[in-house]
Amino acid sequence: MKRICLFPGTFDPVTLGHTDIIDRALPLFDKLIIGIGRNSNKDPMFSEEERLAWIHEIYKGNPKVDAVVYDGLTVECCKKVKANFILRGIRYVNDFEYEKAIADMNRSIAENIETIFLTCLPKYTSVASTLVRDVLRNGGDVSQFLPKAVIKSIKRRR
């Protein structure tokens, strides 16, 4: 059986924290699908098309990486893409408590889908899309937090 993993999130924008988790997870799986979830509680700064384009650009040479946009439950997206793992990144202890509750719920709904947690490297613990968006809205420089493809796209946008 292939080890297919879904890494769900909003990726608004894709940060170096995200790519750190993706890059370190790649050797663990046969395929890693980045799931850009539509969250009705969030008003994204960047379009789904931009976020998909960033992932495709960052990982264009890697056939193990793909990306999808999805609505609804993450476990339902897993079923659609035939993923048997969910990847989640952990920055702090409170991230783990929140993510464990979600993992337990997902396990109750779909017991054949396992959640895998990876802690981010210490240099990325403060890199959160929410904080990056705040800095961007206020005209600050976010280049140290974002992959080159994202920086280029944002600069073209301005």
Residue 71 belongs to a domain with what CATH number? 3.40.50.620
**108 part of the active site:** no
Which residue among the candidates 18, 51, 88, 153 is catalytic per the annotation? 18
Tell me how many domains the chain contains. 1
Domain of residue 40 covers 4-157
Give per-residue pLDDT as tens, 95-136: 899 999 999 999 999 999 999 999 999 999 889 999 999 999
**18 part of the active site:** yes
**91 part of the active site:** yes
Give per-10-residue mean pLDDT for the chain (158 aa): 95 97 98 93 90 97 97 96 97 90 96 96 90 94 95 85
DSSP the chain: ---EEEEEE--SS--HHHHHHHHHHGGG-SEEEEEEE--TT---SS-HHHHHHHHHHHTTT-TTEEEEEE-S-HHHHHHHHT--EEEEEE-SHHHHHHHHHHHHHHHHH-TT-EEEEEEPPGGGTT--HHHHHHHHHTT---GGGS-HHHHHHHHHH-
pLDDT at 92: 87
**129 part of the active site:** yes
Which residue among the candidates 2, 38, 42, 123 is catalytic per the annotation? 42
Which residue among the candidates 51, 88, 129, 153 is catalytic per the annotation? 129
pLDDT at 158: 65
Which residue among the candidates 3, 56, 91, 100 is catalytic per the annotation? 91
